[in-house]
Amino acid sequence: MLAHWLPAAINTRPSEWSRAAIGMAMGTMFSVWVCGQVFGLDVALHLMGPLGASAVLLFAVSSGALAQPWSILGGYLCAGVISLLVAHVLGRTLGSACLAAGMALILMCWLRCLHPPAGALALLLVLADPATIAMDWKALGPVMLSGSTMLLSALAYNNLTRIRYPKRPTEPAPLMPAADSLAITAEDLRRALADMEAFYDVTPEDLEQLIHASELHAKRRSIGEVLSSGV
């Protein structure tokens, strides 16, 4: 039972870890510096937590849906608006901060811009430091500036280091029937991910289950088409 708690092996090389780490450090520093120049260092430092979490996604797992441009911009905007609204209506308490985070999650899901660091941002904006509280609704300024700067940093650094960002839609591969002996396994997917040398926020086992489920639905659809044509 304890074996299920062990983490799966990362499908990337140490060189990719270093690339992502350097980008994260540079992107976070640049974002905080720009925000500090415009709105003051106290406000900028208060946002470092969510920015650091966003940097992990944008530089280490940039192929994931949670790291795409609309996710960070939309997520930060949802968290900012909801948290400031809740703070005005219910005050700045722990309960209202947690409520703001939950409401921000619902709004992000509805707008298809789920970004986990935005949950931390919602908490921080409700339980803010005096400098941020004094800004009132103008606190959206440093939030969106820091998020936009982080996004621009990821766009520049990832593409300069030969990592495509944002993720581009790929052409669907043609479906071909395969014998059981040629069925794709988790080990095949693990090796394919290793060949790609990029971070993906999905496990080979999840991909294997998805492929098998897709094959099952394809078989059911094929049988249904045969039966309907026979009628």
pLDDT at 203: 63
Most confident of 129-133, 149-153, 177-181: 149-153
SS3 of 231, please?
coil
| pLDDT tens track for 173-187 | 444 454 444 566 667
Q: What is the mean pLDDT of the chain?
A: 86
Q: Among residues of the chain, what percentage have pLDDT more than 70?
A: 81
Residues 6+ apart with CB under 8 A from 81: 140
Angle, helices 69-90/94-110, rounded to nearest 10 degrees:
140
Q: What HEC string does 36-87 produce?
A: HHHHCHHHHHHCHHHHHHHHHHHHHCCCCHHHCHHHHHHHHHHHHHHHHHHH
CB–CB of 52/28 below 8 Å?
A: yes
pLDDT at 191: 77
pLDDT at 44: 95
Q: Label residues 119-128 b or e (16+ Cβ within 10 Å = b).
A: bbbbbbbbbb
pLDDT at 173: 47
Query: Is the pLDDT confidence value at 201 over 80?
Result: no
| Spatial distance between the Cα atoms of 153 and 163, rounded to a whole number of angstroms | 13
CB–CB of 194/11 below 8 Å?
A: yes
| pLDDT tens track for 35-61 | 999 999 999 999 999 999 999 999 999
Residues 6+ apart with CB under 8 A from 128: 46, 87, 92, 139
Query: Is the pLDDT confidence value at 172 over 60?
Result: no
| Spatial distance between the Cα atoms of 82 and 97, rounded to a whole number of angstroms | 10
Residues 6+ apart with CB under 8 A from 199: 10, 11, 12, 16, 20, 60, 61, 62, 63, 64
Residue bearing the bigger pLDDT, 207 or 155? 155
Query: Is the pLDDT confidence value at 159 over 70?
Result: yes
231: pLDDT confidence band, cut at 50, 70 and 90?
low
